Amino acid sequence: MESSQEELLKSVSSFLDKHDISYMITGAWSVIYYGRPRASHDIDFVVEFRGKEIDKVLKSFEELPKDYLVSIDDIKEAINQKSQFNILYLPTALKLDFWLLTDDLFDKSRFSRKKKVEILGQKMWIASMEDTILQKLRWYKEAKIEKHLVDAAFVYQVQERNLDKKYLQDWTNKLDVEKYFKELKKVKLEDFY
């Protein structure tokens, strides 16, 4: 039987597809997909709202069922600041984080490389394994929260044979995360099961 978080992931992905909102799953769920079964307290999406579509997008979010706590003002503010907004799913208090696609070169690169895969029997867009590693290293560089390094290590070590090593090397240099990239290779996964 699916957990409420799995059901929510399917439901929100379907909602985004139905309303032609470009998205990709990132954060914990991309880590879970590529390498590390673990608990998560939220679901992260990167979304792209193009200028002409914004009114249509806002109308779509207004039409979400009453189970979802949505602030249209927060969404508008996130659009203006190219930042993020949250929606709360009230029955389970699960949080949905929506990060707006920015003009940052890495952000554009990872969004252009998203993959359509089958998760829980449903097709969804997800960040690539390389970009999952790189984003986790970026977050680790910013906050030094161990779970980000461990998540990156799981994806790297589980998927090592499938990775585009040149792409990873190029971006670890550009993002100035080389030392953390070396660290993730030394993480002992068995310490985190």
Please report the pLDDT score of residue 37 as a whole number.
81
Q: Do 121 and 167 lie in a common domain?
A: no
Q: Do 20 and 69 lie in a common domain?
A: yes
The CATH number that applies at residue 25 is: 3.30.460.40
Tokens of 58: 């806002």
Q: Of 127, 155, 170, which marks where a domain is finished?
A: 127
Burial code of 36-70, b = ≥16 C-beta within 10 A, e = fewer? beeeeeebbbbbbbeeeeeeebbebbeeeeeebeb
Please report the pLDDT score of residue 3 as a whole number.
61
Predicted TM-score (pTM) of this structure: 0.92
Q: Do 36 and 87 lie in a common domain?
A: yes
Q: Give Cα separations from 184 to 87, 136, 173, 180 (angstroms).
A: 32, 11, 15, 6
**Structural domain that includes position 180:** 130-192
Please report the pLDDT score of residue 2 as a whole number.
52
Mean pLDDT for back-to-back runs of 10 residues, the chain (193 residues)? 80 95 95 87 92 87 92 93 94 94 96 96 97 97 93 95 97 97 90 76
